[in-house]
Amino acid sequence: MFDIQEIRSQFSILDQKVNGKPLVYLDNAATSQKPDSVLEVWNKYYTEINANVHRGIHTLSQLATEEMELSRRKIQKFINAEHDFEVIFTKGTTEGINLIAYILTQKLKKDDEIIISYLEHHSNIVPWQMLCERTGAKLRVIPMDENGILQLDVFETFLSEKTKVVSVNQVSNALGIINPIEEIIAKTRKNTNAYIVIDGAQSAPHFTLDVQKMGCDFFVFSGHKMYAPMGTGILYGKQEILEDLPPFHGGGEMIATCSFDGTTYAGLPFKYEAGTPNVGGNISLGAAVDFILKVGQENIQNHENALLDYAQKQLLELEGIKIYGEKANRTGVVSFNLEGVGIASDVGMILDKLGIAVRTGHHCTQPIMNFFNIAGTVRASFAVYNTFSEIDALVEGVKKAQKMLS
């Protein structure tokens, strides 16, 4: 049974008031709140275990290692990776993409091509621009139409023997648009031998994931958007590819042998996990997976889709509302402006006075904003603990903003 009040009771932070009003937290695409079960695991690590992993024979070190490797196996099952050692702990999506772009440096040369899309977060733009600067490769961008839908017919014309990387997000953080990555992957495989990278930062909290069925080479996501602590994330990579590519960082943990004459590298996953990891955070990421699976991914998706449908319907009943990507297949996000009335940040500040937390601005997607010739949007984004009454509060807050700003 899906019991929204029971779910909300697991998030103590939601009980507070902001500016004298009950907190309505609708900034989940930026970061989700954390259930008590995850915070308890995090606290238990630091109060009962707190030892480094893989490096000690004493009891606490062994416990820490067991718990972190158990978390790795939970995440392996969560994304259906073939092997647990294909799961690399990172600080988040941004580090994961930067890691991939760095280790692919030796695989690209002048005039090779990297394809991304118009819908990307800066974290899936800038690392590839930096790779182009290092290698002389060129960046190509899949265009989108006025609904934010990628033009895959144009994408297909881009594909050639020069294509070495295709990197796209599964869900747009700015608009919530679900991209047809299965079709993108199929077209890429048919026409090239390119590496395929999928940014799952906005899909991991909402969808059932299967990287083997998906057929990508790399998949990255952040823990803090899926009920885990900040500073956690995952890079999945196929075994044969990760074994073929060089390390990212050098130091402890990632070596097999080290001398002044030379160093050999550890096997997967440790080859890509130099230094002391975020042990408590990584263990807590496994606890966040437990939470998601206990609630049920289908339950989460159905509830969040219902929230999105309701929010869009209610907002569109107001005059002067522009929803971006309105006609596209979306999840978890409604991104809008009040046409001719103030700016997004004005709306956000008024909503905050009412206890409603939304995100305003360009959402680290300036190309999207430039496409629509706007400075930014108001973005309300949903999680499993949000309610229809909170949508009602949002709509009433938008009405108040319209009245105050007009």
Helix axes 59-79, 279-295, angle to 10 degrees: 40
Task: Give the active site residue among 132, 216, 258, 364.
Answer: 364
Q: Tell me the backbone φ, ψ of residue 337, rounded to 5 degrees.
A: -140, 160
Tokens 């990278």, located at residue: 197
In what helix (H) or strand (E) does residue 234 lie, and over which residues does it extend? strand 233-237
Could you give the C-alpha distances from 139 to 45, 104, 116, 200, in angstroms and in order?
A: 44, 15, 7, 21
The candidate with the shortest Cα–Cα distance to 318, out of 296, 333, 303, 338, is 338
Tokens 């994931």, located at residue: 209
Respond yes or no on whether the N-terminal peptide bond of residue 247 is cis (omega within 30° of 0): no
The candidate with the shortest Cα–Cα distance to 330, out of 171, 220, 204, 183, is 171
> How far from each other are the two terminal CA atoms of the chain, in whole angstroms?
45
Bridge partners of 142, per DSSP, are 117
Q: How many CB atoms lie within 10 A of CB 207?
A: 17
258 catalytic? Reply is: no
Tokens 């319907």, located at residue: 313
The candidate with the shortest Cα–Cα distance to 195, out of 209, 214, 216, 181, is 216
Distance CA 16, CA 286 (A): 27
Distance CA 316, CA 319 (A): 7
Distance CA 118, CA 142 (A): 6
Residues 6+ apart with CB under 8 A from 186: none
Distance CA 54, CA 262 (A): 23
Distance CA 366, CA 362 (A): 6
DSSP 179: P
Q: What residues are labeled active site?
A: 364
